[in-house]
Structure 1
Amino acid sequence: MPQQRPRPRTGGPSTPARLVRRAALAGSLALILLTAACGGGEDDAAARSKSSKKPTISAREAQIVAPAKVEVIASLTKCKVEIRVEAEELRDGVCRTERGAYLITTFPKEKHQRTWLDTSSMYQGTYLVGPRWVISAQPKLLEQLRSTLGGSVIRMTGMGPASTPSSS
């Protein structure tokens, strides 16, 4: 079996592609070493007991966390949410409780929320609106949820939003 001869090195400067590959390799190795060094050393039982504990989140914390988490808002309202829509512009989940059913919609950016509210104004509904989240439900239920979550109850009149006197 003939052996292949090694290619001679040119001795010239490295090409940009080689530099990028070398940098990627060095970065990957550094990341692996950091991950291994920061392992924490917990055994499986300790890790399982930590993951089984549910964090308690207050409504004030929800104002910070809620823009991206339908699940956080649902847990504050003591509901197990069923996610219906996961899109780039919004996430949408439905809750069914003894108090009634309601829809929780969260938005990654405020502009998406404004667009959603502008569009929903043609349906003349009433919504509980917070920082980058909206809840759709019957007005009586929205008032109950507002006491837990904060936000403002907004009634859409078909010609733009109109805040009800109960908004905060």
Structure 2
Amino acid sequence: MTSAVLVGAVVLTLAGCGAGQDDTAKVPATATGSLESLAAEVKCRPDMQTDADEIRQALCKNADGKFVLATFATDRGQREWINDAKDYGGHYLVGRKWVAVGDDGVVNALRGTLGGEVEAGADHSGHGAKHSG
């Protein structure tokens, strides 16, 4: 078994832990399309922040909350962007050449419409000194 297949099998096994078959049945096929078409699917009007050949990025807000929606020209560019961004934490809904970034609840709600895979960024909750309020 190759390492990629083994990793995939472990991820699938872990994803099934504590979740019934009904949870996976509710996730639609992963959406594709332009930033505007993805935004329309989740009922947000994108506020463009970056409109370049390699990446298009917009701020979005819908009934589920605020999130960033980005599309990429290449799979490699997308993966490099995600790998760099994950250092800052957060939750990422990843599709083919697109990503949505927001809090856990927003990302899971978007997944119900866009499909995709959820990835988590670095956990910074236990780092540094405690803050008093």
TM-score of the pair, normalised by structure 2: 0.66
Name the structure 2 match of 1:156: 121
Q: Which residue of 144, 148, 151 maps to 2:109?
A: 144
Alignment of 1:100-115 (within 5 A): 100-115=65-80
In 1, distance between residues paired with 2:104 and 2:73? 25
Q: Which residue of 32, 38, 41 maps to 1:76?
A: 41
In 1, distance between residues paired with 2:117 and 2:30? 17
Identity %: 31
In 1, distance between residues paired with 2:45 and 2:106? 17
- For residues 81-115 of structure 1, give each alpha carbon's deviation from its aligned partner in whole angstroms, at most 9, with x where no partner exists: 11110112200011122321111000010011011
Greater C-alpha Rg: 1
Q: CA RMSD in A?
A: 1.7
In 1, distance between residues paired with 2:116 and 2:81? 17
Aligned-pair distance for 1:126? Answer: 1.1
Aligned-pair distance for 1:141? Answer: 1.0
Aligned-pair distance for 1:74? Answer: 0.4
Aligned length: 96
* Larger RCO, structures 1/2 (Cα 8 Å, 6+ apart): 2
Alignment of 1:17-166 (within 5 A): 62-63=31-32, 66=33, 69-157=34-122
In 2, distance between residues paired with 1:80 and 1:91? 14
The structure where strand makes up a greater share of residues is 2
Distance of aligned partners of 1:139 and 1:110 in 2 relative to their CA distance in 1, 3 Å threshold? same
In 1, distance between residues paired with 2:86 and 2:103? 16
Unaligned runs of 5+ in 2: 1-27, 124-133
Q: Which amino acid aligns with 2:79?
A: R
Runs of 4+ in 1 over 2 A off after TM superposition: 59-63
TM-score of the pair, normalised by structure 1: 0.53
In 1, distance between residues paired with 2:121 and 2:76? 18
